[in-house]
Structure 1
């Protein structure tokens, strides 16, 4: 990324045009195998009348001499993102933000990218990357729990890695599930809505959750043999998407060690004694580097908990710039 160029502003539409799901999954895998440095994120709570908001600062940079493992050139970046749960009632996405990208050798600013859109892409592709190692190769039936902005990205990302032939969308508000299902079906995807979450989960090979639920939605008793549970929402310790039984029945993996202490589900279960810390089998670093075994067999239930990682943002931002 060396050389003098003007600062570029990259809106959502250009991000969409620069990325594909298989290619970004590959870029994230390379990022987890490489030497991207990602310090602990800054996490701040913001009191608001319609629900406390969160401000996150997530820096990362490519390691010296190792940039070729993840991208052409080197880079420094930081994502500044906020999560305002009350935005849904205002017709706005809960996640807002920008991504700042600079040259890794000189620090010269190169681009400011739409942070919300970049987050949707990288979050969905991180889950799909985990599914590459954890979901059954013949998974055909998917359930999408939640119908927010992330849901269509998760559906497409998972479909890029597994032969998904049917997707069922469930949402607390059935009308939102129906609306999203109709839109995606109109685009040619095999999607339908359902109001019976238990029945949908019981027949699913892959269950992906992206909600802000404060109580478990998916019960461990519902998971069939060989199912893969993808937990993406529940970003703080007050939230849950699956119960302790789901975690106890599953081989549990996380994106990064941060998920052991922050975010819902895994961190909450460890804190409250629902599972032992040792029950968590590994993370994306170990899976991508071949240091940790993934799925143990066709009958094994697997679970992935994502809290997000700054290295994913940097790898995604660099992928966007390569694709422009």
Structure 2
């Protein structure tokens, strides 16, 4: 059994390849049982959480022969870890043979998650963002943001990137780290409204409890990519945004019930589940159309799925 570290994963992955691997995965038949959620009582502090996210398949990874795999991501959430300078969320991915069940590899779960989450947004953008999109606004400056910037740049001819964050210093730091790389001119901004109005693609990765992006700010033809706000009580876009845009999700089961950007306006009767034009399965299989015309505003909401983890893990294993 191999142990594959985050640095190895970062050396293996490219977004162009991973996007195509995910496209193949969403076209295939993959089993994704409901994730297991366990609370671990800790008398000396906040309760911890253990998450188990399994998946198995038979799809042929791009450029490789048909093989079956089983995978499970194991995630622990210990809220009190911040008191001892450790991450609150940690994860490991185990990949097994679908033919014998034997363990094949153990991988860094955080690295797998960062790469697959950003690649899923880029996959959606390949159907939903205008082909001439060259200006990106990144809302949020956390660990996922640089991955999202690179991912979107792999599917659209981006040249200009603005980064907005509630803490301007964090946006400045990330902009300095990326500016000039990957053919991108990257700057920080404190003008969120102006950044949204001038962007072709707006990507959000925050844990905001209040809407950040307003529909009135979205220019004709903008693609809005909502990656954060993964709980029903969190939200990155307002009601005007979801009523103005043609709506898409990664999976209906996850996005419509778990994500506040969808769940809140559905609960309020502002939109219905039927207003979602397509999910990634339907887009990748050609069953539903993505962007219909140049000036259309599109919105993609993701909450993540074990399909993406499994596809990314197989991709890494076959290239390692």
> Does the alignment reach a TM-score above 0.5?
yes
- How far the C-alpha of 1:174 sits from its partner, in A, is 0.5
- How far the C-alpha of 1:270 sits from its partner, in A, is 1.2
Encode CA deviations 1:33-92: one digit per residue, 9 max, x unaligned.
0112111222456789999875432110014xx446795421100111245678778765
Query: Which of 99, 105, 126 matches 2:99?
Result: 105
Structure 1 residue runs of 5 or longer lacking an equivalent are 1-6
1:62 counterpart residue number: 57
Encode CA deviations 1:176-223: one digit per residue, 9 max, x unaligned.
000000011164632110011000000100000001111111111100
Query: Which of 216, 221, 224 matches 2:216?
Result: 221
Give the Cα–Cα distance (whole angstroms) in 2 for the partners of residues 255 and 118 of structure 1. 17
Q: In 2, are the aligned partners of 1:122 and 1:312 still within 8 Å (CA)?
A: yes
1:132-147 equivalent positions in 2, closer than 5 A: 132-147=126-141
1:23 counterpart residue number: 17
1:77 counterpart residue number: 71
SS at 2:260 equivalent = coil
Distance 1:153 1:244, change over 3 A: same
Query: Which of 260, 264, 275 matches 1:264?
Result: 260
Q: In 2, are the aligned partners of 1:71 and 1:319 still within 8 Å (CA)?
A: no
1:271-286 equivalent positions in 2, closer than 5 A: 271-286=267-282
Query: Which of 312, 317, 320 matches 1:321?
Result: 317
1:115-126 equivalent positions in 2, closer than 5 A: 115-126=109-120
Encode CA deviations 1:249-306: one digit per residue, 9 max, x unaligned.
0000000112111122112221232311111111000000000100010010000000
Give the Cα–Cα distance (whole angstroms) in 2 for the partners of residues 197 and 137 of structure 1. 24
1:1-324 equivalent positions in 2, closer than 5 A: 7-44=1-38, 55-63=50-58, 66-67=59-60, 72=65, 73-82=67-76, 95-185=89-179, 187=181, 189-257=184-252, 258-324=254-320
Encode CA deviations 1:88-130: one digit per residue, 9 max, x unaligned.
7876555420101101100001111100010000000000000
Distance 1:216 1:138, change over 3 A: same
SS at 1:214 equivalent = coil
Structure 2 residue runs of 5 or longer lacking an equivalent are none
SS at 1:57 equivalent = strand
Distance 1:53 1:240, change over 3 A: farther
Give the Cα–Cα distance (whole angstroms) in 1 for the partners of residues 286 and 79 of structure 2. 37
- Aligned residue pair count: 316
RMSD: 2.3
Q: What is the TM-score when the length of structure 2 is the normalising length? A: 0.92
Give the Cα–Cα distance (whole angstroms) in 1 for the partners of residues 82 and 224 of structure 2. 25
Distance 1:50 1:154, change over 3 A: farther
Give the Cα–Cα distance (whole angstroms) in 2 for the partners of residues 321 and 158 of structure 1. 24
Encode CA deviations 1:126-148: one digit per residue, 9 max, x unaligned.
00000000000000110000000
Q: What is the TM-score when the length of structure 1 is the normalising length? A: 0.91
Distance 1:58 1:223, change over 3 A: same
Give the Cα–Cα distance (whole angstroms) in 1 for the partners of residues 40 and 297 of structure 2. 37
Q: In 2, are the aligned partners of 1:31 and 1:70 still within 8 Å (CA)?
A: no
